[in-house]
Structure 1
Amino acid sequence: MTDQPDLSGKVTARGDVVVSLTEYRQNRDPVPVMFHRRELDAILRIYGRMVGEGEWKDYAIDQLKDRAVFSVFKRSGEMPLYRIEKNPRLASKQGAYSVLNTHGTILKRGHDLPQVLKVFDKALKLID
């Protein structure tokens, strides 16, 4: 059993298999979707602020075939409070980035991650 995809190709006289490069690329397992460094910087900046305020305690990063998910927890044994998702298939439609709450309701969605993360900004209150 190998990591290589099962491709049918031409067998040479020596027994080697010759496979077209385009056929190989098409049959290869897709690379999982990941957050880029700048995206993670923006997310971890918000995460650090919320940890400092005592609201968030833990996080998890999932890199799936169709999307990347950054989950935020109050306690590590619970359901995530928020999920920040990157889904490239939605980039041309509603936007690749979205923030979901515990129940799966989309709080904000868009094409620009810093704009989507503004959902975590708190409004300043005037205290008399």
Structure 2
Amino acid sequence: MAFDPPYAAPRQGRVFFERRELERLLSLYGRMVAAGEWRDYAMDGLSDAAVFSVFRRSSEQPLYRIEKRPALARRQGAWAIIGEGGMILRRGHELEQVLRFFDKGRFKVVE
């Protein structure tokens, strides 16, 4: 007789974020919430991608989707930021490089 664990067993063949990637994404999320830019997030582990979606309001379409697609790692890069309309805003091989997209608005010109 097989023993069923009391917890849900992880699904095979799913892509998800590694711990340090998730820590970096949640750090960015916290910074953007503190700035009043974002209000909610969602994470999905799909068969071909891991997706971190951020929302301005929870009832809307995602403002941005940060995707990890390992199948594209050797070509265009595994990481991408996709905007509201589905346009790829940034793509790259390293998460830090791609997340610099959100740093451009951090500094303001002061007279």
TM-score by length of 2: 0.86
Q: List alignment gaps of at least 5 residues for structure 2.
A: 1-10
Aligned to 1:67: 49
* Distance (Å, rounded) in 1 between the aligned partners of 2:106 and 2:58: 28
* Distance (Å, rounded) in 2 between the aligned partners of 1:38 and 1:123: 23
Once the two structures are superposed, residues 23-49 of structure 1 have per-residue CA deviations (whole angstroms, 9 ceiling, x without a partner) of xxxxxx852000000111111111000
Aligned to 1:85: 67
Instruction: Give the alignment partner of residue 118 of structure 1, picking from 91, 100, 103.
Output: 100
Aligned to 2:28: 46
Secondary structure at the aligned position of 1:69 is classed as strand
Secondary structure at the aligned position of 1:100 is classed as strand
Query: Stretches of 4+ moved more than 2 A in 1?
Result: none
* Distance (Å, rounded) in 1 between the aligned partners of 2:106 and 2:63: 20
Aligned to 1:21: none
* Distance (Å, rounded) in 2 between the aligned partners of 1:80 and 1:42: 19
Aligned to 1:127: 110
Deviation at 1:123, TM superposition (A): 4.9
* Distance (Å, rounded) in 1 between the aligned partners of 2:56 and 2:106: 21
Q: List alignment gaps of at least 5 residues for structure 1.
A: 1-28
Secondary structure at the aligned position of 2:85 is classed as coil
* Distance (Å, rounded) in 1 between the aligned partners of 2:49 and 2:75: 15
TM-score by length of 1: 0.75
Q: What aligned pairs does 1:94-109 form with structure 2 within 5 A after superposition?
A: 94-109=76-91
Q: CA RMSD in A?
A: 1.2
The sequence identity of aligned pairs, in percent, is: 56
* Distance (Å, rounded) in 2 between the aligned partners of 1:53 and 1:91: 32
